[in-house]
Amino acid sequence: MRIERIRVENFGVLHNIDLDLAASNPNIVFVNGFNGRGKTTFLDSIKWAFYAEEPRQSKFLSNYALKNTPDQGTIVVRVVVSLIMDSNGAIATVEREQTFQRIQDGVSRRVGASVLTVQTRNATAGSLTETLSEIDAEKWLNHYFAKKLMNFFLFNGESMAKFFDSKVKDNIEGAVRQIARVDRFEDMANGLDTIAQAHNKKIARLVGARTERIALDLEDARSVLRKLHDSAVSDSKTLSELREQREKKSAILEGKEGIEASVVELKEVEKSIGVFQENLAGAQELFQNEIMSYGVLGILAPAMNELFVQIENAKKEDRLPPPWDPERIRALLANETCICGAHLTPNGEAASQLTKLIERYQVSSTVGKQLSELGSKANEVKSALTGGWKIVNLHNSSIVENQRQLNISVNRRTELLDSISDIDLTEVGSAASEIKRLDREIERLVGSISATEVKGRLVQGQVDQLQRDFDKASEGNKAAEKLRIEAKFAREVAAAARSIHVEAIKRVRERIQDSFNAKFGTVKEGSFQSEITDDFEIVIKNEYGQVTELSEGEKMMQAYAFSMALREVINLSFPLIVDTPFGRLDGKNRQDLARKIVTFLKAQTAGREFQAMFMMHDLEYTPYTKRYFSELQPFEAFLGSDPENPTVRSRMGFGIDPDWTQVEAWKDWSEGKIK
């Protein structure tokens, strides 16, 4: 099977893309482009066409088309994939479309459900002669593109190293059941059980009452066993669906390691910002209240500086009132006796000095007394201001600290928002919550299935014992013996029908192991041996039988080889399509993986119809990796920027994107410096 043409209309940034491969019919196709140009969207468009898997709304409907459509106008998202089904000329076209209507102001609504159309042509017809009904179209897709094997058809290279972390066994078993239509055998087995029960009733009537009682008990036990079996099958199907849902939700978180932690931290930072803003507002209010309380005194404070200067000068010039009462000095002079007992002789030296003090007080009392009183008041104001400003300074320090903490939190919030600016946090949070719910439900179902299996073994033992009792009771009756043989045969065939799926899976696993060894051996260095477990996990051992730890590049090649082996074993021929085939490997390991992929693809394309399509950015597909791939003669296309609408529309071209030649190694390549 090969892809001949892919047309994409109004799907995300892919407004009108046409990848026509009919003329060159290549084995290897590269669709390259800078990040953000639509490579992953291109992969998503193919996934939608085959599996109806929609990306989120913002990545689904073209913003360019929405912008250029009038209100009430309709937009059709359409993907058409033309396929060459085999080497005999059979072809098919898969088309899926979804209509939207623009309401107003760039808002759209979905109009109806998506419509699937499949047209086919056999080898002898000249054109597409058969358009399948939608029900038949879905069946056709399920046959050629089993949904359980979607991840073996459409790869995300960044997750390939973790390929076997997913439930590979569930996917393969589900696909084998789907492809082989195992349900038909289940229906046959149930029909044969009904025949065996009817024979047992006839035997019981022929032999007697005791045998009838045993037959009734046996029928009841078999009924319980069938219900347990049906319950286990139903639970297993539900479990597989839940695991598939979990993988889809996990894909939303893929590459977003730490996002949940960032979201949690962002919430805490937002909470801290609120606290610091509240504290800051409180401190500012207290600060203003204190300023208001001491506002008048604060206005007086600058004017008091001159007053204190005058007081100091008056002290030096001895113009301030003395710190004693003049009237008491006069009383001492009149009594001619000092308080110390000394005699104050009139006109004597001591009396003269006291008289001069009284005279100086009388001179200074007019201005000095007022100045002294002003100084006393000023000191009271100064004392009040000193206590008040201490409180003001405390509030001011609180303002400064809260502002500092607020600035730190705001800056951290900006950093966190920048780190998750391109991520739909609502979607991430919803996915994380849904994964937790699914994990609980998966755990419950695993326990339920295990308990059902235990009950099934117990009931099977009862059935076996009752069957032995029934056979023994019916011995000696020829008519009953003949019916018993037929009933036994019916039960054996029913058991065989139910075991077809188990046997098919066993054989698939054995054949995959042989095919994988051959394919992985083309790229794995050194001696090794592999074993595929019952869970379809691959264990690689070295020549000494020790389990070997693979490098990231080897894990990716292991996934490639396993996918190819599975396709070969169950005869699935659809192309391999990989977005970011080198994942997150560094430059050196990318070059090493490129060499291995070339070796691997050469072996796959030799003498057979095989097609691979890789979507790569400029750091994956470099002039050096181009050199490795040149011998495969790949078809090169690119998704580049539309000059007139660079953010909402990409264009498709062929060869190397001219924009690439303006940067780094591709510039040297375009100038002939790298051959």
Secondary structure of 505-518 as H, E, C letters: HHHHHHHHHHHHHH
Beta bridge partners of 116: 96
φ and ψ of 575, to 5 deg: -65, 160
Model pLDDT, residue 299: 46
pLDDT grade for 669, boundaries at 50, 70 and 90: confident
How far apart CA 172 and CA 190 sit, in angstroms, is 25
Residue 21 contacts residue 654 (beta carbons within 8 Å): no
Q: Amino acid letter at 584?
A: R
| pLDDT at 73 > cutoff 70 | yes
Q: What is the pLDDT of residue 586?
A: 66
Q: For residue 59, what pLDDT is reported?
A: 79
pLDDT at 88: 73
Give pLDDT, residue 127.
57
| Total count of residues recorded for the chain | 675
Angle among Cα 255, 259, 260 to the nearest 5 degrees reads 125
Domain boundaries, the chain: 186-264+423-504, 269-419
Tell me if 20 sits within 8 A of 628, measured CB to CB. no
Q: At what angle do helices 478-520 and 168-180 cross, to 10 degrees?
A: 120
The SS3 of residue 228 is: helix
Helix intervals (H) in 570-606: 587-605
* pLDDT in the model for residue 153: 74
The predicted model gives 156-181 an average pLDDT of: 62
Q: Does position 376 have pLDDT exceeding 70, yes or no?
A: no
pLDDT at 365 over 60: no
pLDDT for the residue 637: 93
Q: What is the secondary structure of 596-636 as a DSSP string?
A: HHHHHHHHHHTTS---EEEEE-TTTS-HHHHHHHGGG--EE
Q: 445-462: per-residue pLDDT in tens?
A: 888 888 888 888 888 888
**pLDDT at residue 654, rounded to an integer:** 92
**What's the token pair of residue 154?**
């459409």
Give the model's pLDDT for residue 99: 93
User: For residue 633, how many other CB atoms are within 10 A of its CB?
Assistant: 11
3-state secondary structure labels for all residues of 248-303: HHHHHHCCCCCHHHHHHHHHHHHHHHHHHHHHHHHHHHHHHHHHHHCHHHHHHHHH
pLDDT at 603: 74
Instruction: Read off the amino acid at residue 152.
Output: F
Which 3 state secondary structure label does DSSP give 20? strand
Tell whether the model's pLDDT for residue 356 goes beyond 60: yes
Which of 38-42, 49-53, 236-240, 604-608 comes out lowest in average pLDDT? Answer: 604-608
Least confident of 216-225, 450-459, 515-524, 644-653: 515-524
pLDDT at 631: 84
Q: Residue 17's pLDDT band (boundaries 50, 70, 90)?
A: very high
CA distance to 30, 255, 556, 576, 580, per residue, from 585 (Å): 19, 14, 10, 20, 10
Residue 666, CB-side half-sphere exposure with 13 Å CA sphere: 19
| 175: pLDDT strictly greater than 80 | no
CA 520, chain centre distance (Å): 31
Quick one: pLDDT at residue 46? 92
pLDDT in tens, 206-264: 777 777 888 888 888 888 888 888 888 788 878 877 877 777 777 666 656 566 677 77
Does the reported pTM lie above 0.85?
no
Q: Could you tell me the pLDDT band of residue 138, with boundaries at 50, 70 and 90?
A: confident
Is the model's pLDDT at 149 over the cut of 80?
no
Choose the most confident range, by mean pLDDT, from 307-321, 329-343, 390-404: 390-404
* Residue at 639: amino acid letter: L
Question: Which of 353-357, 388-392, 433-437 bottoms out in mean pLDDT, i.e. has the lowest?
Answer: 388-392
Cα 163 to Cα 155: distance, rounded to the nearest angstrom: 9
3-state secondary structure of 659: helix
The predicted pLDDT at position 250 comes to 72
- Per-residue H/E/C for 293-354: HCHHHHHHHHHHHHHHHHHHHHHHCCCCCCCCCHHHHHHHHHHCECCCCCECCCCCHHHHHH
Helix, coil or strand: residue 569: helix
Q: Are 575 and 1 in contact (CB under 8 A)?
A: yes
Q: Exposed, middle or buried: residue 181 (CB in 10 Å: 0-12, 13-18, 19+)?
A: exposed
Burial of 312 per CB tally in 10 Å (0-12, 13-18, 19+): exposed
What pLDDT is stored for residue 296 in this prediction?
Answer: 46
208-233 in b/e burial notation, b at 16+ Cβ within 10 A?
A: eeebbebbebbbebbebbeebbebbb
What pLDDT does 94 receive? Answer: 92
126 vs 56: which has the higher pLDDT: 56
State the chain's mean pLDDT as an integer.
Answer: 77
Would you state the structure tokens that stand for residue 14, as one six-digit string?
């892919």
Residue 83: which H helix or E strand, with range? strand 74-84
